[in-house]
Amino acid sequence: MSELPSEVRFSLSKGFEFTFSKEFTKAELKLKGLFGSEESWESLESMKNTLTFKTSPTAEYVAEHWKDDAFYGYQFLNGVHPSIIRNCPLMPSNFPVTEEMVQPFLEPGTSLQQEIQKGNLFLCDYKSLEGLQTLVVEGNSMPLTAALCLLYLDTTGTLKPIAIQLGQEPSEKCPIFVPSDPELDWLLVKMFVKNADSVIHQIISHLMNTHLLAEVFAVATMRHFPDVHPLYKLLTPHFRYTLQINTAARVVLLGPTGLVSKSSAGNEGTNELMRRHLAETTYSSLCLPDNIADRGLQNIPNFYYRDDGLKLWTAINRFVWAMLGLYYPTDDEVSGDAELQRWIQDISTRGFLGNRRSGMPESFITVEEVVKFVTMVIFTTSAQHAAVNSGQFDYNSWVPNNPLQLRRAPPTTKGQVTMETILETLPNIGHSGVARSCKHTRSVIIPSMECVLFPQVVLGSYPEERFGEPAAKQIIENFQKELSSIEERIIERNATLHVPYCYLKPSEIENSVSI
């Protein structure tokens, strides 16, 4: 960290925040007798009674409703990881779900094929986890399933899981589970899906697609733009602490996942997973309107991440158009800006390894192209990071809801799971305590100190006032007013919800990846 330029290092107060949080968490775990314990939990109730130092209304709701299929499906849209679910226009050949299997869970008078044609079937596919190297604990590799989960949207707008396969190759040892199977079987296989989802969430959707992408953009910006360049002025507030926070993030985010994250045998699980996803990452997948369309999620109801995110994307895009219009009145200014061209070429060739299949631009010809790309950069480093980070304590602190580690192999036959099986599969007491505390550290700043030591810089704030032109100042003010209007609509909507979706409220979105 000491090698970083002084302007991107942590301030004294920010460094203190991390040190204090770490020591406070360690002391808490020791006080409760959780630190280093390798014992399994005696019961789910004992886990609930012990992990109670910190809480939130949503976390309490999760702990009470995590078994419910309707709430389980809801989380794929509005939980901490809304980035994996997609419409299922055709059943995968390696997921042989039949009409007979799922008919009891469909609306009366319809069929599986009819519901597919109506667009009411959705899929979460974790194929990228297949064959990854995982941590070895007590001589056994930790299990990680390349699961498939089919979800059904009924006429009430409720999304529920109706079929789960814990592997990519169906067989007698890899059966398809359905909700009518024994209750504990169904509960355990749902936990294995959420374990797979948690690993993709932390390593890809969170670490790679926000933290590490922000690092790519930040390094290229500092490398190619002088501080008087309008894009330097516009973008650097969105890289506050990015390089320093990523040094910590590589350790904190990867530690509890169960994957091998340090290179001892070459093909470590964490890096291999990121290689796989980077090879498949497209420019359109980073642009929210395109991403939503590509996943076929334009019309699914009660998708608050989409609704709030698209409003923010539009507001950011309008803001960027106005700002860049001051400095690039025509396309000629874009094509003639050598610093701008070197910036995007560096991002394309070094950040995305020159992968032309990604659709990542290698140069800019028009103002519109620059505006879209800069919109993506700002959205990624602010709103998208908030969406996949801020809800971690709410949805992950109750460990069975989103376990980052599981200890026993997945079930291969039906009717064999007991509560003892589930408790032996969940993380042990020590790992559960660490996981819960990490979730709090990542997503919550200590309230009593927040205003004094660690003031947030929220989306739309430019406290360094790099733009001196009256027109630019007015554009920033207009942007802030539009964000306030979005916030009012979110608050009004949330007042009608059992579980408010708050992670894209502008007042709670940091301007950069700084936590």
Q: Where are the alpha helices (DSSP H) in 444-469?
A: 447-453
Query: Which two tokens mark 126?
Result: 């974790």
206 is in an annotated binding site: yes
Residues 6+ apart with CB under 8 A from 444: 54, 393
Encode burial over 206-234: b for 16+ CB neighbours within 10 A, e otherwise.
bbbbbbbbbbbbbbbbbebbeeebbbbbb
385 is in an annotated binding site: yes
The rounded distance, in Å, linking the Cα atoms of 142 and 140 is: 6
The rounded distance, in Å, linking the Cα atoms of 163 and 498 is: 26
The rounded distance, in Å, linking the Cα atoms of 360 and 489 is: 34
Tokens 């596919």 locate to 125
The rounded distance, in Å, linking the Cα atoms of 328 and 473 is: 17
Specify the 3-state DSSP secondary structure of 152.
Answer: strand
Q: In what order do the strands lie in the sheet with 86-87?
A: 86-87, 121-125, 148-153, 159-165, 176-177
Residue type, 320: V
498 is in an annotated binding site: no
The answer to whether 428 and 480 are in contact (CB under 8 A) is no
Tell me how crowded residue 172 is: count the other CB atoms within 10 A of its CB. Answer: 7
The DSSP result for 46-108, as a single string, is: HHHHHS-SS--HHHHHHHHHTT-HHHHHHHHHHSS-TTS-EE-SS--TTS---HHHHGGGSPT
Binding residues: 206, 211, 385, 515
Binding residues for Fe cation: 206, 211, 385, 515
